[in-house]
Amino acid sequence: MIEIAAYALHEANGPLTPFRLQRRDPGVNDIVVDILYCGICHSDLLSAHDGLKRSIFPMVPGHEIVGRVARVGSGVSKHRVGELVGIGCIIDSCRTCAPCREHDEHYCVERFTSSFNGRERGTGNPTYGGYSQTYVIDENYAVKIPAGLDPAAAAPLLCGGITTYRPLRRFFDSRDGNGRGLRVGVIGLGGLGHLAIKFAKAFGADPVMLTSSPNKVGDAQKLGAVDVILTSDAAQMTKAMGSLDFILDTVSAPHDPNAYMSLLKRGATMCLVGMPEQPLVVQPMSLVWGDKALSGSLIGGIQATQDMLNFCAEHGIAADIEMIAIQDVNDAWARMERNDVKYRFVIDMATLKG
């Protein structure tokens, strides 16, 4: 076994404190990854609150992991010692069901194994995430960080990036593969939202930012939004009615989706990626009036994650980050709860000693 240092919380909503854990010795197909950086996603907080009622404690969060391969098993062919790799939410799946065969491992019928707050296939042991020094993972579930991407700013791409890239890519693929002439709304300028604006722009679309925060208007423009709508301003919302070809909703808190759906053009879709802990109330007329659709999307498969990283390297896309030491992680979580992050915290794992 490999004993390492980590940060864990021991009960729902408890503080993160130093913790020691053991990783398995690498099997034939495993790689051992020394973790360099780990992003802080709002879903870490969702699990810490036990928002999905299946949290396992002690919990070591973290699923936006970038590290360097330190050792490889004898059967490993995809990765080499010294290479930079990424680990996202998925570390295993059944590999035989239709979604797995179609590279949608995140929809594995047996449920994918989550990189944290999950249970390993076979042993049933809890999985511990990236707020730790080392990860041991099957080589097929790690992706390569392309040359040219800053490894720290790439970490949030492993969840925030793929979660926004996948539904946007699917939308643009349904419209000639690019976004030219399409107005794409993004609700919520946070970790996911700021990446969504960058992706929509890189696909050639006209991104429209919908934010509840007046102090983010200037940033949204700098990120590439052609228009910024302050959602608390009724006049701005009314003016934008029926103007958007697609909306990606990244909001983490309870909100009224009906006001946003009125901004869609006839026949258009609003896709949820945000996961508020309470139900959203949808008025039938919001869908019925104008052939509108409400959809959802969960992260993305391993191959799509690699495609997204390659796309980011090609288009110079990475997250805007605030780097923190692991000792400041509780403060960072509290700031994220208060909507006070521009736009992703990344933990420098070199600060985790012992």
Binding of residue 130 to ligand NAP (CB under 6 A): no
Residue whose entry in the numeric block shows the structure tokens 């609150």:
49
Residue nearest to ligand NAP (CB): 190
- The whole-angstrom separation of Cα 228 and Cα 238 is 13
Q: What does the DSSP 8-state code read for residue 350?
A: G
Q: Are 117 and 53 in contact (CB under 8 A)?
A: no
240 belongs to the binding site for ligand NAP (CB under 6 A): no
159 binds ligand NAP (CB under 6 A): yes
Instruction: Give CA–CA dist 229/213, Å, rounded.
Output: 10
Q: Report the nearest approach of ligand NAP to the CB of residue 43 (Å).
A: 4
The nearer residue to Zn ion, 244 or 319, going by C-beta atoms, is 319
Candidates 133, 163, 269, 306; binder of ligand NAP (CB under 6 A) is 163
* Distances from the Cα of 35 to the Cα of 81, 108, 139, 304, 351, angstroms: 13, 27, 15, 22, 11
309: amino acid identity, one letter: L
Site string for ligand NAP, 24-63 (x = CB under 6 A): -----------------xxx--x-----------------
Biggest CA pair distance of the chain: 63
- Which of the ranges 25-33, 72-80, 157-165, 200-208 carries the binding residues for ligand NAP, by CB under 6 A? 157-165
Distance CA 190, CA 169 (A): 20
> Which of the choices ligand NAP, Zn ion, none does residue 250 contact, using the CB cut-off of 5 to 8 A by kind?
ligand NAP
Q: Check residue 153 for interaction with ligand NAP (CB under 6 A).
A: no
Q: Is 252 in the site for ligand NAP (CB under 6 A)?
A: yes
Residues of this chain that bind Zn ion (CB under 5 A): 41, 43, 159
Q: Give the residue with the Cβ less far from ligand NAP, 136 or 225.
A: 225
Q: Does 69 bind ligand NAP (CB under 6 A)?
A: no
Report residue 6 CA to chain centroid gap: 21
46 binds, among Zn ion, ligand NAP, none (CB under 5 to 8 A by kind): ligand NAP
What's the closest the beta carbon of residue 77 comes to Zn ion, in angstroms?
Answer: 29
Q: Is 117 in the site for ligand NAP (CB under 6 A)?
A: no
| Whether 279 contacts 303, CB under 8 Å | no
Residues contacting residue 272 through CB under 8 Å, at least 6 positions apart: 249, 257, 280, 294, 295, 296, 297
Write out the two tokens for 62: 């973290």
Q: List contacts with ligand NAP (CB under 6 A).
A: 41-43, 46, 159-160, 163, 188-193, 211-213, 216, 250-253, 255, 273-275, 298-299, 336, 339, 341
